[in-house]
Copies of this chain bind each other. A is one copy, B any other.
Amino acid sequence: MSRILITSGPTREYLDPVRYLSNASSGRMGRAMAAAAMAAGHSVVIVSGPVEVDYAAGAEVIPVVTTQEMLDECLKVFPQCDGAIGVAAPCDYRPASVAPQKLSKTGRSTRLELVQTPDILATLAAGKTSQWIVAFALETEDGRSRALKKLYEKHCDLIVLNGPAAIHSRETAVEVLDPDGRVVASLSGAKDQVAREVFRIIQERLIHRQRATDD
């Protein structure tokens, strides 16, 4: 049995107590990946941004709001995990400052200063020992090349590429790419079913090999 960290859902970066930046992400694919890992006999810890979905009973869930909070919680639990699956869609920019009170309308156009947030999987990868890391990438153009760039930058073992049609949908279509740039699998259908297939690939290519190395 492996212990697997799964990030899920969006993060939010607040401008003031009410307004925020976020990404379209329901948490459904994160929930489906967690369920697939648990069905295969593993334990999961889900670090999740604000979502309305209910994760499977038996999953440990750590709720967070911002990308920095998601990173902080992941850094705490990752050393006790055998691998991580980054399904979350964390905000990669946050407002340079957060107003303590709700901003009033000015009647004019305005500018929002944004600064980049830390990259969660790249940070985990930088401190990893024997763990494997699988990323998800949502791209709207140049999908394969952008996904592979992310795979290298984040030092991942596999990357799952999906398109915007997956957002807030029960269905998805993905390609699983390996560090050699090969398309390991092209999968489509209900997220639960696609998640089981993706997890089967993780099991075969990463968990079994890790076991073989451990033995």
Contacts and interface: CB of A to CB of B under 8 A. Distances in A.
Interface of A: 16-24, 50, 52, 89, 91-93, 96, 101-102, 104-116, 138-141, 146, 164, 167-168
7 contacts: A18-B167, A52-B52, A102-B138, A102-B139, A111-B111, A111-B112, A111-B114
A140 B104 CA distance: 11
Contacts of A167: 18
B102 A109 contact: no
A139 to B, nearest CB: 6
B146 A104 contact: yes
Main secondary structure of the interface of A (DSSP, over half): loop
A141 B100 CA distance: 10
A138 B19 contact: no
Copy number in this complex? Answer: 2
A138 B18 contact: yes
Contacts of A23: 18-20
Given A18-B24, A93-B110, 8 more contacts: A16-B140, A20-B23, A20-B24, A101-B141, A104-B146, A109-B113, A111-B112, A112-B114
Nearest to A96: B109
B21 A21 contact: yes
Contacts of A138: 18, 102
Nearest to A117: B105
A149 to B, nearest CB: 9
Contacts of A105: 92-93, 116
B114 A110 contact: yes
Nearest to A105: B92
A26 to B, nearest CB: 8
Given A102-B138, A167-B18, A111 B109 contact: no
A63 to B, nearest CB: 12
A44 B89 CA distance: 36
A115 B109 contact: yes
Given A19-B21, A24-B20, A107 B116 contact: yes
